[in-house]
Copies of this chain bind each other. A is one copy, B any other.
Amino acid sequence: MSAKASRKPLSRQRVLAAAVVLADTQGIQALTMRRLAVELHVEAMSLYYHLRDKEALLDGIVETVIAEIDAARLDTQGYEDWRTRLRHQFLAARHVMLRHPWAPGLLGSRRTIPAAVYTYYDDIIGTLIDAGFSYHLAHRALHAFGSLPLGFTQEIFSPESAGGNMEDDAAETDLAAAAETLPHLTAMVTAEVHDSTDPTLGWCDSQAEFEFTLDLLLNGLEHLRG
C-alpha cells in the first residue's frame, strides 16, 4: 500500500479533468504544465505523452467546458416557443460558465474553435429558422446575441477570427463535410455569401453586424424609456 502503488495510470481525460479543477480553484494563470504535473503526482514531462503541448491542453479544457454546456442543452429540448427555448439554453450555458470563470476569456483567445461550438450554434440557427427567421436575420441575431450564448465576444471587434479562415486549402472539403453535421449553419453561410457584395473578405460584414446590434438595443431601450 505504498504511495507509488496508489497512482492510477494517467490518461488524457484525467489530465484534462485535473487541469479544469486547477483552473477553477487557482485561476487560469496557475495552470502550468509543471504545477499540473505536481497535482497529478507525476513529472511534468509525463504530460507530453498524453498531450502534444500546452496548446493542446488548453484546447482540451475548452472542449471539456463546451461538452458540459452541450450536455445541459439537451435538457432544453421540448420548448416550442423559440424565445423560451433560447432563453433556457443561454441561461444553462451561463450556469456552466459561472463554474469556470476562465472559460469565456480562454475560448475567446483560442484560434481553433472546438467542433461542439459549431453544433451549438447550428442548433440555435435551427431554432430560429423553425420560428420563421430568414437566414439573414438569423445571422444578424447570432451577432446580436454576442456573449450571451457562450460568455465571450471578441468576434465583434476582430473580424478575422469570425469567418476569415476560408482561405485554407481544405475549406471546401470542410464545408462539404460540415453540410451533414451542421445543416443550418452551412445553409446560412451559403445564403449569406451569395448575397455578400465582397465574398473575398469573408461573409461577415462586422461593421454592419455591429450597427445592427447597436440599433436593435438602442431602439429596444427607446421603447422602454418611460
Contacts and interface: CB of A to CB of B under 8 A. Distances in A.
Interface string A75-116: 000000001001100110010011001001100110000000
Contacts of A226: 132, 134, 137
A5 interface: no
A225 B81 CA distance: 14
B151 A152 contact: no
Interface in A198-226: 210-211, 213-222, 224-226
Contacts of A154: 104-105, 151
A159 to B, nearest CB: 8
A131 interface: yes
Interface residues of A, number: 46
Contact of A157 (B101, B131, B158, B222): B101
A141 interface: yes
Nearest to A28: B109
Given A152-B153, A153-B153, A214-B87, A101 B221 contact: no
A224 B137 contact: yes
Interface of A: 83, 86-87, 90-91, 94, 97-98, 101, 104-105, 108-109, 131-134, 137, 141, 144-148, 151-154, 156-158, 210-211, 213-222, 224-226
10 contacts: A87-B211, A91-B211, A97-B157, A105-B109, A132-B225, A144-B220, A148-B213, A151-B154, A153-B153, A216-B220
